[in-house]
Amino acid sequence: MAQFSHSSEIAVPAIDLDSWHTRVGAFERLAPPWQRVILESGGDVTEGARATLRLQFGPFSQRWVALHEVVRPGEGFTDVQESGPFASWRHAHRFESLGTGRSRLRDEIDFRLPLDPLSRVALPLVQQQLRQTFSYRHRVTAHDLKRHAAYSQTPLRIVMSGASGLVGTALAAYLSTAGHTVQVLSRSSKPGGRYPSIPWSVADQTIDPEALEGADAIIHLAGAPIATRWTPETKERIRTSRVHGTELLARTIASLSRPPRLFLTASAIGWYGAITDDRPRVESDENGDGFLASVVREWEAATGPADDTTRVAQIRLGVILSAAGGALQKMLPAFQFGAGGPIASGRQWFSWIVLDDLLAAIEHVLHNEDLSGPINMTAPNPIRQREFANTLGTVLGRPSIAPLPRFVVEALFGEMGRETVLEGVPVHPNKLAESGFEFTYPNLDGALRHSLGRT
């Protein structure tokens, strides 16, 4: 029988550590982004309950069923594998009080590999992967609890669109582990899912206003993906999915007798368009040129009907870094094989933010009544694309000298490639900085090491 343990001091009482782990979004928050693990059923941490996971290995997958064998509120819980990849697996999650508002998070695992003793040659690799996984889990736990503790502990009811996307999935989990109630806007009227749903249809411009009455905040993240070749039909879908959905919610909010205190919508740094100088752009800078700039202009203007009813904020998103999706996930295979490198000249600006800092920044806006209007959601240190490629290669321990020529990007992606890959703008999070928000990962090296588990 092999053993593994990992422990960390956390700056909250043990009871808060326990509460965080037993809330609905804890599984999603603890799943490392470089691993493909899906919670198919279960998730309630009660004695005798089961959780069914699906582990993805490229085109292959394996089912893992875990039983919560022992649950001691405020102290921890233990689960055991009933079926899965190990010959046996027993995992004790322990929350030990250290007094004066501190606790120790300790994970202790006893396991046996399949085909033991023949498989013992693989034990060092498994131990290394466990260290990588639990180091990440403990960082996220400490990060989230520290962020949540900075704000009022009053539970809020938050309605969210786009909850199945990269940001929405993570944000719903992040807010629910803070103790808030999350409801999701869904095109399906069927019950089920991790969070209660409210049906709506952007195409039909329908939603039940009663379902939104009394919500504390409405967060609108839905929109058609832009990372595809832009045909006239695609461009219209990109525009209408953002503008029409925002208009529907803004009109509905304006009609409510008990409107939310905040209407927060996604936006993008595409607002600034293509630029020819290196001056960092802030929220007060004017709208630029190009398709994305025009879409963002209409998108932000669509919140207008709600302006007299509630606080409105538009978060201008930069490139979101996460191994779970988005640009970084798409780049990883090439860089992992040593075939990554700068795009075109590599001198175009790359304004980025790691996913965990984005979640914390949204929470900051949620609780800060002085923040409204457009808010740049980018790290304070934009870089050139060549520097991004070099840093990613260094973090992965791979060369990053294979350039992607400009003509290839234009041939593959056309206008989309020119506006999103071959052009860039340095963006500064001016409003976040002035409101006192502090980034956990302000520099690219630390952000990539966290997201890729390469600390």
Q: What is the pLDDT of residue 57?
A: 83
Q: What is the pLDDT of residue 59?
A: 84
pTM over 0.85: yes
Contact 220, 177 (CB under 8 A): no
Asked if domains 2-149 and 157-452 share a fold, the reply is no
| 222 closest CA partner among 294, 136, 290, 159 | 159
C-alpha to C-alpha distance for 161 and 201, rounded to whole angstroms:
11
Cis status of the peptide bond prior to 191, with omega within 30 of 0: no
Q: What is the pLDDT of residue 413?
A: 84
C-alpha to C-alpha distance for 326 and 168, rounded to whole angstroms:
13
Q: Which CATH class is domain 2-149?
A: alpha beta
- Cα separation values, 291 from 19, 232, 288, 408, Å: 46, 11, 10, 21
Q: What is the pLDDT of residue 190?
A: 61
Sheet holding 76-83, edge to edge: 2-10, 102-112, 88-99, 76-83, 60-72, 50-57, 36-41
Sign for the pseudo-dihedral over CA of 328, 330, 334, 337: positive
Q: What is the pLDDT of residue 276?
A: 72
Give pLDDT tens digits along the chain (455 positions). 899 999 999 999 999 999 999 999 999 999 999 999 999 998 889 999 999 999 988 788 999 999 999 999 999 999 999 999 999 999 999 999 998 899 999 999 999 999 888 888 999 999 999 999 999 999 999 999 999 999 988 999 999 999 999 999 999 999 999 999 999 999 876 655 789 999 999 999 999 999 999 999 999 999 999 988 899 999 999 999 999 999 999 999 999 999 999 999 999 999 999 877 889 999 999 999 999 999 999 999 999 999 999 999 999 999 999 999 999 999 999 999 999 999 999 999 999 999 999 999 999 999 999 999 999 999 999 999 999 999 999 999 999 989 889 988 888 889 898 888 889 999 999 999 999 999 999 999 999 999 999 98
Rg of the chain (C-alpha set): 23
Q: What is the pLDDT of residue 193?
A: 74
Q: What is the pLDDT of residue 446?
A: 97
Q: In CATH, which of 3.10.20.30, 3.40.50.720, 3.40.50.2300, 3.40.50.740 is domain 157-452?
A: 3.40.50.720
| 166 closest CA partner among 360, 326, 40 | 326
> What are the residue boundaries of the structural domains of the chain, listed by start?
2-149, 157-452
CA 27 remoteness from chain centre: 13
- Cα separation values, 207 from 157, 245, 312, Å: 18, 10, 20
Q: What is the pLDDT of residue 379?
A: 98
C-alpha to C-alpha distance for 168 and 180, rounded to whole angstroms:
15
